[in-house]
Structure 1
Amino acid sequence: RPERVSAIISDELSAIRQEFGQSKVGARRSHIEHNAQDLATEDLITPTDMVVTLSHSGYIKSQPLSEYRAQKRGGRGKQATATKEDDWIEQLFIANTHEYILCFSNRGRLYWLKVWEVPEGSRGSRGRPIVNMFPLVEGEKINVVLPLTGTASSFPADQFVFMATSMGTVKKTSLDEFNNPRKGGIIAVNLDDGDYLIGAALTDGKHDVMLFSDGGKAVRFDENDVRPLGRSARGVRGMSLDDGQSVIAMLVAAQENAATQDTIARNSVLTATENGYGKRTPIDEYTRHGRGTKGMIAIQQTERNGKVVAATLVNNDDDIMLITDRGVLVRTRVSEIREMGRATQGVTLIGLDEGAKLSGMQRIVENDAQAGTDDDGADAPAADDTP
């Protein structure tokens, strides 16, 4: 009968409680721990080496390095990312998911990203606009991205962030000044009205800095001529400018390129002007001058040339991308641009339509990442070594 079955079950449960339960009726053997350690999202992320790409239009994404297996010499490689005709890869670097990326804006602010926060995408995807990853104000944009090895608590004090602004101000700040990441970013350099950040680089205190103005001048000086300053400081004079002129580029000479992890020391400076002219000059022709001077002639600024719009370090086997204010792109081999002395006008880099201007130039980071065996390259023929 049901009543009898229920009574038997009740008696058996009572016996179990008497034998295995605690003395207090209703007490439980387990307990809830209220002080358990909280887990951050990063604690659940497996440390993994990633290939991070950033395009000229500001699209960023990551892919596991394991997707790029080592190829035989002469292999065709794998495409790292998809880009539109008016876009190209501007930076490519390898970093661990637990490492930081320092992102500087034209307003002189610094924002942090952990590599694991960069959206992972396939080779066929463009990625995500980097401007959507930070609380930027109107008119603010990310213009320098630097990968950084190590954690925020161990940023080395003997490394520096060297920055330059359009008005010729430079500033060197110890890297450990930036070891307190904040979601809303922090001030990296205080700027005067109308001024903006044009460049930033990681240095170790042992290199030269080069500044280029749109008036065709360049100054090269030892970075130790600039003493380290705190984050809130405005900096010191790096280059003197004539009225109406501005600094358009900052280069760090004889230094591994921190943004792309390129260990090749680029030995030429390529300058370009708004009317489509430019030239390549050996870096040794740019001798040291005192900080704060007007510097030396980098390229003749004439009516034919117009203002200087870009300067970059290159090697003979690099490619560059030229872009006009009308959206026209031209890719050119550096080897096709002959080397010339500093005080010359240069040669034609790009033919411009009437009224058009050259607005920018960028050394291209190869789209085919060969960091890693791919079936495409397993049987690839070896490269021809014939001269």
Structure 2
Amino acid sequence: TSKGRAIQNLINIEQDDNVKAFICTQDLKDEDYINSHYVIMATKNGQVKKTALEQYSRPRTNGINAITIKDDDMLLEAKLTTGESQVMLALKSGKAIRFEEAKTRPMGRNASGVRGIKLAHKDDEVIGMVTIENPQEETVLVVSENGYGKRTFIDDPEDGEPVYRVTNRGGKGVKTISITEKTGNLVAIKSVTDEDDLMIINKSGIAIRMEVKDLRTMGRATQGVKLINLKGNDSIAAVAKVMKDDDEDVNDNDQSTDNESNNDVGTTLDTNENDNNN
């Protein structure tokens, strides 16, 4: 399989810099579009910042400043929104917070943002951010470093009551997965539906693909089930949501990798495992 190309060959960035997020936009010359959309960013230490897309509509070849980052912090994610979304931030300690995007006022490009979530301890950090458009239709998927994961409703589909309550930004959040020595820390959070596929990549370089609909929904405070088996000191490196019609060449070009992952890692869910409510 191909190793890909260095990002420095595609865009003009410093050799010691790296890309943390990318956003697909439409016409940056369309005033109605750029004035009705926002870029919301999250940092490892729990800061969030929202800026009108219009402020990024005149890019330069060497880039423009998007956010001011403190020395002990780093940019984690960036999402494109309409200003009416809900935002969820998740910590590696297993907690998550849900708040209205409207609670974060638009700021200039050079601003450092405001607190989105309070870290549980000095070694805690944000591991992901999702934006929610349809809480009745979407579910939250979380994956831990040792291969455990689950889906949880955002709002209860029967009575409409929030499973993740909406709070003000800056709080401690609520438990989104029960973290134990067996599960390891939380490493990924995604907003998914039954129409999505999931790609999980191990640090050893093996990628596997599974259908989200095969993951049953579980309670918010449970530890989930074993999604894949890991060998030795291997752990989860990345999790990506993939549309079913996209990336079809994975099966064609990487069939040997898929076969290796099926034989050596495994992709089946352990549906007999208890929810382990804590």
**SS of residue matched to 1:143:** coil
By how many angstroms is 1:220 displaced? Answer: 0.5
Find out whether 1:296 has 2:167 as its counterpart.
no
* Distance in structure 1 (CA, Å) of the matches to 2:65 and 2:137: 31
Map of 2:25 onto structure 1: 148
Task: Calculate percent identity across the aligned residue pairs.
Answer: 38
In the alignment, residue 16 of structure 2 is paired with which amino acid? G
Out of 283, 308, 320, the position equivalent to 2:154 is 283
Superposition map of 1:175-186 within 5 A: 175-186=53-64
By how many angstroms is 1:335 displaced? Answer: 2.2
In the alignment, residue 138 of structure 2 is paired with which amino acid? N
Cα 1:149–1:301, aligned 2, differ >3 Å: closer, same or farther?
Answer: same
Map of 2:257 onto structure 1: none
Deviation by residue 1:5-64 (Cα, 9 ceiling, x = unmatched): xxxxxxxxxxxxxxxxxxxxxxxxxxxxxxxxxxxxxxxxxxxxxxxxxxxxxxxxxxxx
Map of 1:40 onto structure 2: none
**SS of residue matched to 2:102:** helix
Out of 18, 26, 39, the position equivalent to 1:161 is 39
Deviation by residue 1:290-344 (Cα, 9 ceiling, x = unmatched): 1001101010111111100111111124221111111122222222221101000
By how many angstroms is 1:348 displaced? Answer: 0.3
In the alignment, residue 312 of structure 1 is paired with which amino acid? K
**SS of residue matched to 2:233:** coil
Map of 1:246 onto structure 2: 125
* Higher Rg: 1
**SS of residue matched to 1:303:** coil
The structure whose RCO (Cα within 8 Å, separation 6+) is larger is 1
Map of 1:195 onto structure 2: 73
By how many angstroms is 1:178 displaced? Answer: 1.6
Note the aligned Cα RMSD (angstroms): 2.2
Superposition map of 1:91-130 within 5 A: 129-130=6-7
Deviation by residue 1:346-385 (Cα, 9 ceiling, x = unmatched): 000110112111121111232249xxxxxxxxxxxxxxxx
* Distance in structure 2 (CA, Å) of the matches to 1:138 and 1:244: 28
Normalising by structure 2, report the TM-score.
Answer: 0.79
* Length, aligned pairs only: 238
Structure 1 unaligned residues grouped into runs of 5+: 1-83, 88-125, 256-263, 370-387
* Distance in structure 2 (CA, Å) of the matches to 1:159 and 1:291: 20
In the alignment, residue 132 of structure 2 is paired with which amino acid? A
**SS of residue matched to 1:224:** helix
**SS of residue matched to 1:142:** coil
**SS of residue matched to 2:208:** strand
* Distance in structure 2 (CA, Å) of the matches to 1:168 and 1:286: 18
By how many angstroms is 1:129 displaced? Answer: 4.8
CA contact (8 A) 1:131 1:142 kept: no
Structure 2 unaligned residues grouped into runs of 5+: 156-162, 250-278
Superposition map of 1:221-370 within 5 A: 221-241=99-119, 242-254=121-133, 267-284=138-155, 285-365=163-243, 366-368=246-248
CA contact (8 A) 1:152 1:181 kept: no
* Distance in structure 1 (CA, Å) of the matches to 2:192 and 2:57: 32
By how many angstroms is 1:265 displaced? Answer: 8.5
CA contact (8 A) 2:136 2:154 kept: no
**SS of residue matched to 1:335:** helix
Map of 1:14 onto structure 2: none
By how many angstroms is 1:164 displaced? Answer: 0.6
CA contact (8 A) 1:153 1:179 kept: no
CA contact (8 A) 2:47 2:114 kept: yes
* Distance in structure 2 (CA, Å) of the matches to 1:206 and 1:279: 27
Map of 1:210 onto structure 2: 88
In the alignment, residue 140 of structure 2 is paired with which amino acid? V
* Distance in structure 1 (CA, Å) of the matches to 2:54 and 2:212: 38
CA contact (8 A) 1:323 1:361 kept: yes
